[in-house]
Structure 1
Amino acid sequence: MTATATETRTEPVEESTPLFTIWAEGFAATGEAETAWQLNESPIGAASFDEAVRLYSEASESRYLFKRHRNGTWTYWGCRLFDNESDARGAFG
């Protein structure tokens, strides 16, 4: 028996969207210092870290402080952004 164009698929299509947490590296400048910190309180569902940061920055009141560089890295207030705490702390405290 062959399938016709009017038949529909009943199998569920499972699509999983990755969740991202955005971390900024620490800094020391103008008498202020901070170790790595987490920007978003809840994980962001996005296809990639790049998209997660873009979505978060667009929703942020300080969206003008986010910058995407030619090499693909993101910064916030000049601090590089990472998708995990370990890399953020390894970069600068």
Structure 2
Amino acid sequence: MEEKIKKMYRGDCNLIIAFTIFLWVVLIYTMIVVSGLAPSHTVRMIALGAAIIAGVTATTALLAVLGHLKKNQTQLYSEDIMCSGAMEKQQP
């Protein structure tokens, strides 16, 4: 059971890391496009500031989720494993 918990934890960590990378790729691409469309330097700086705030906030939240998963992985994944086993028994 311990190996299954570690496998589930690694999968969740990989997914969170991939999502974080995707988030920053989208933000950087969007800022490049916005920089080309913005009518003034002020608008560009406001958009850049908003993007950085959104990116940092989302990244911090995702890191907090990683910390929560690491701290409580046995409890969280044991419950998932037990519930999935119970659901499999209920299906005809």
Q: Name the TM tier (shorter chain).
A: under 0.3
What is the TM-score when the length of structure 1 is the normalising length? 0.25
TM-score computed with the length of structure 2 as normaliser: 0.26
Task: Say which structure is richer in strand.
Answer: 1
